[in-house]
Structure 1
Amino acid sequence: MTRLDRYILAQLLWVFGFFSLVLVSVYWVNRAVRLFDQLISDGQPMSVFLEFTALSLPMLIRTVLPISAFVAATYVTLGLLRNSEMSVLQAAGISPFRIARPVVVFGLIVTAFLTLLMHFLIPEARAELARRQVEVAQNLTASLLQDGVFQHPAEGITFFINEITEDGTMRGIYLSDARSQLQRIDYTARTALIVPEATGPKLVMIDGQAQVHDQRSGRLSVTGFGDFTYDLSSMAGPAGRGRSVQELTSSELMSPTPALLAETRASEAQFRFELVSRFVDGFAAVAAALIGFSALMAGGFSRLGFWKEIVLAVVLMALVQSLTNALAGPAMRQASLAWLGAIPLALAVAASMGLIGWATRRRRVKP
């Protein structure tokens, strides 16, 4: 690596680190505020909040790194153009393709880190986060088992148990659900049990009635029931579910067994698309860096500013992301179309090479 490569690469890495720190902080604060409200309102300690935010960091970093690579490449190229350093390099006979070499190296460095995240850290973090969410949900369900106390596990929900027997049967149940602005439903039952299911815990009430009060008309209707099941997952969250495709290791995605397909409730096409995405999305940093670099190089030096080139770079990034989202649907429905995930990346690199080639052609001296 020459001194020129080290000079440009050092600037890219410095700016990349700065913007990565800023963007991760912004994303983290935005998520942490919502998570804090949710956990603290459920009575969870601060340690659970810190653990959940730490486990969500790999996913946030994976989202931020390609954006940071794009911003770093755009910012550094803009600085080289404004300071006329790019003009000096090209006057010395160095082509834009040669100047792009440290940009590609920079993108590959970020890609290596993204690959590590997507194949190892993110699946592990997702699996651990899901496991801890199940434990918290079980703790919330257990916290409902207090007799003689009016509890409010969620906004608009009031729950009361008159007595809990030694075998866990609840007697004298009162449950008021006032979350809807149109009606309030009051349930009373002689006995009840909490039953864990894959979709979340259920409250099975036996021998009771439901009183529905219509808030608009003021009418009250009463319905008796022998048994009635009330979903508690909205208060306690899902429990006992299987793993998702995102939580599986890459080796498991390569050879999905019938047991894994049944556990995740996913198709073979979703398995294949997730595996392809882990390989392809890592190289999004290379494409993002090249787009930022090539869009500015295509415009060249201008005393009127570089806002047109910056807008071009942003538009190209938006088009690549839109195409990625559009192709994700067909690729997840048919296993043979999993390769569609690589098309946006290939087109982004091809467009970048075309812009760099345009920058080279424009600077040829006419005889």
Structure 2
Amino acid sequence: VFLSDRRKANEGVIYTAAEAYLARNGDSTTLIMLSGMAQRLDTERNRLATAKFRDFSFDISPLVSSGDAIDPSVSAMVTPDLLWNWGEVAAQTDTTAGVVAEELHGRFAQPLFCLVAAMIGFATLILGGFSRFGVWREAVIAFGLLIAIDGLRGTMVVQIRETAALWPLAYLPSLIGAVLTPAMLWQAAHPRWIRRRLRGKGAAA
């Protein structure tokens, strides 16, 4: 158990214990720590004092009970609460409907983009084929593609936050990757297709 007391500007106390228990007595809550040590640092004199204890009690009532209202945050809300009434949620959290829309669809688009990113890397390695010099070239190409698509995703985030109706743009980077991956795999399965096309055009000319 680790507890840091920084309430005094010129003094800091750190408590560590092998185990601890919470004890309630009415409205007060006490933390009882067993087999631990207290370290008190005096920042004015730059002195550290330590003391070991078998048991020690600490009143943590101000930490667990507070009458202050906590302002809600969009990022801290569960997904079902963000599905409907974006305007109402925006008013509760003192933000805009676009931010709510971006937060909601970002929770679906980001995991989807992770899957697409893995597929792009796989397709790039397959497209490169075997080389005695390793796969560094394919790795650089995959890295460049992901940077380009992820940069597009950052631009889409700005657009969605400004206009909530543009929320489908959150899935555009994943859609681009989903289209690019089968195309790369098809090209890997038909490596001579481009050469035949070029030869056909050259013969026709």
> Please, what TM-score do these two structures have when normalized by structure 1?
0.34
- Give the 3 Å change call, closer, same or farther, for CA 272–307 of structure 1 in structure 2: same
User: Which residue number corresponds to residue 280 of structure 1?
Assistant: 109
CA–CA separation in structure 2 for the residues paired with 1:331 and 1:258: 14
Report what 1:52 is aligned to: none
Aligned to 1:323: 152
User: Matches of 2:166 and 2:176 in 1, distance apart?
Assistant: 17
Which has the higher relative contact order, 1 or 2, with Cα contacts under 8 A spaced 6 or more apart?
1
Shift in Å at residue 331 of structure 1?
0.6
The partner residue of 1:348 within 177, 190, 194 is 177
SS for the counterpart of 2:131 is coil
- Tell me if structure 1 keeps the 8 A contact 2:86–2:101: no
Instruction: Report the Cα distance in structure 1 between the residues aligned to 2:152 and 2:129, rounded to whole angstroms.
Output: 28
Contact 2:98 2:160 in 1 (8 A): yes
Contact 1:256–1:271 (CA under 8 A) maintained in structure 2: no
Unaligned runs of 5+ in 2: 17-41, 44-67, 197-205
State the alpha-carbon separation in 1 of the partners of residues 15 and 173 from structure 2.
42
Report how many residues are paired: 139
> Which of the numbers 98, 109, 113 marks the counterpart of 1:269?
98
Q: Helix, strand or coil: the match of 1:243?
A: coil
CA change 1:251–1:312 in 2 (3 A) is same
**SS in structure 2 opposite 1:270?**
helix
Match of 1:251 in 2: 80
- Measure the CA separation in 2 of the matches of 1:44 and 1:251: 42
Identity across aligned pairs (percent)? 25
> TM-score, normalized by length of structure 2?
0.59
Q: What's the CA shift string for 1:293-327, capped at 9, x where partnerless?
A: 01111111112222110101111111122111111
Q: Do structure 1's residue 306 and structure 2's residue 135 form an aligned pair?
A: yes
Poorly superposed stretches of 4+, deviation over 2 Å: 39-47, 256-263
Q: Is the 8 A contact 1:280 1:345 kept in 2?
A: yes
Secondary structure in structure 2 of the residue aligned to 1:362 = coil
Summarize the Cα distance change of 1:257–1:281 in structure 2 as closer, same or farther, 3 Å threshold: closer
Once the 2 structures are TM-superposed, how far is the Cα of residue 256 of structure 1 from its aligned partner?
A: 2.8
Which blocks of at least 5 consecutive residues in structure 1 are unaligned? Answer: 1-35, 48-150, 153-238
1:1-367 counterparts in 2 under 5 A?
Answer: 43=12, 240-256=69-85, 260-362=89-191
- Which letter maps to 1:348? G
Superposition CA RMSD, Å:
2.9
Secondary structure class of the residue paired with 2:190: helix
Q: Are the equivalent residues in 1 in contact too, given 2:98–2:161 (CA < 8 A)?
A: yes
The 1-side partners of 2:166 and 2:15 are apart by 45
1:270 to partner: Cα distance? 1.6
2:87/2:96 contact within 8 Å kept: no
Determine if contact 1:287/1:349 at 8 Å carries over to the other structure: yes
**Aligned partners of 1:291 and 1:313 also within 8 Å:** yes
> Does the aligned pair in 1 maintain the 2:113–2:173 contact within 8 Å?
no
